[in-house]
Amino acid sequence: MASYGGPPRMGPAGGFMALMSGPTYGAVNQMPSDKERRINVHFRIPYMTKWGQSVVVTGTGALLGNMRYSKGITLKCHHEKDSLVWEALVSLPWQPCYKYKYALVSQEDGQQLVDAEELMEHSLLLHEGLGHGDVVEVLDTWCDRSYPGSILASSAFTKVIRQHKQMRSGGQAPQQQPAVGEAVVRFQVMDWMLEDGQVICVTGSIPQLGMWQQDQMLLLTETDTPCWQGEIRVPYSAFAFTYKYAVISRSQAAA
């Protein structure tokens, strides 16, 4: 999928957005076998590196380096206003899910050094209806141990101090199927600082996100603590749009 005039605003704690579209999306009867079907994944992540540093992405599968940074893909960078955006377009065989992770690397005496890496792995879920050659746009936000809430992800908190907090795993947000001329937009954000009874919503400048109205926000689903996800269908004509995340009480969401 082509650029839509710049990325929407991301959340501060491990934000992620994926847009899925293509001329054959949903044309299941014309689809090649899973072994033949390839999806073009466009990874994008803003990060202001220093001279000599690069951003690498690695993930599950040989084409992404089998979660080894030395075998991963080095992204290319360009400036977008005040941001330095790193990106790569990778053709991958279709499969339901890819795990991946970014790292900040540099070279010394011909050896790759990992200067920093993200706090947690990302999960990219690919719709069954994606056709051969379709493009998935992925826009991530870097989140490492410098994020103040990351201490809450340590075992000292998850297993001792906050052991009373209910942990969820293996969940999945409802999936959307777009019509012709639409894209599926998936929001995903990680937040370790939520209290019991709090939920995450998304509000924004399009009707699917409530037009900034508090009572019409998109309620995300907690899939794997601390990950929240949600999907909407958006016509191509509605891009680009702006949005932001909000934390509200569960009672507010039910009202």
Residue 85 CB coordination number (10 Å)? 20
With H, G, I as helix, E, B as strand and everything else as coil, classify residue 244: strand
pTM of the complete model: 0.77
Q: Which two tokens stand for residue 103?
A: 């790292």
E-strand ranges in the chain read 16-21, 38-46, 53-59, 73-74, 76-80, 83-93, 97-108, 111-117, 122-125, 135-140, 182-190, 198-204, 218-219, 221-224, 227-235, 243-249
Q: In whole angstroms, what is the distance from residue 2 CA to residue 21 CA?
A: 10
**Cβ distance 193 to 230 under 8 Å?**
no
Residues 26 and 129: beta-carbon distance below 8 Å: yes
Counting every residue written for the chain, the total comes to: 255
Tell me the per-residue pLDDT of 197-235, one tens digit each, with 9 for 90 and over.
Answer: 899 999 999 999 999 999 999 999 988 777 899 999 999
125 to 6, 53, 87, 205: CA distances (angstroms)? 23, 29, 19, 25
Reference 118, options 139, 145, 84; nearest CA is 145
DSSP state of 165: S
Strand pairing of 73-74 and 221-224?
unpaired
Query: Could you report the per-residue pLDDT of 84-117, keeping only the tens digit for each?
Result: 999 999 999 999 999 999 999 998 888 899 998 8
pLDDT, one tens digit for every residue, the chain (255 residues): 222 223 333 333 455 566 665 444 444 445 566 678 999 999 999 999 999 999 999 999 999 999 999 999 999 999 999 999 999 999 999 999 999 999 999 988 888 999 988 877 888 988 888 889 989 999 998 877 666 655 555 555 555 545 545 555 556 778 888 778 888 999 998 877 788 889 999 999 999 999 999 999 999 998 877 789 999 999 999 999 999 999 999 888 776
The b-or-e profile of 162-181 (16+ CB within 10 A means b, else e) is: eeeeeeeeeeebeebebeee
Cβ-in-10-Å burial (0-12, 13-18, 19+) of 30 comes to exposed
String of DSSP letters for 36-89? T-EEEEEEEEE--PPTTEEEEEEESSGGGTTT-GGGSEEPEEEEETTEEEEEEE
Cis peptide before 240 (omega within 30 of 0): yes
What are the residue ranges of helices labelled H in the chain? Answer: 155-156, 250-254
User: Could you tell me which residues are beta bridge partners of residue 172?
Assistant: none
The CA distance from 92 to 4, in Å, is 23
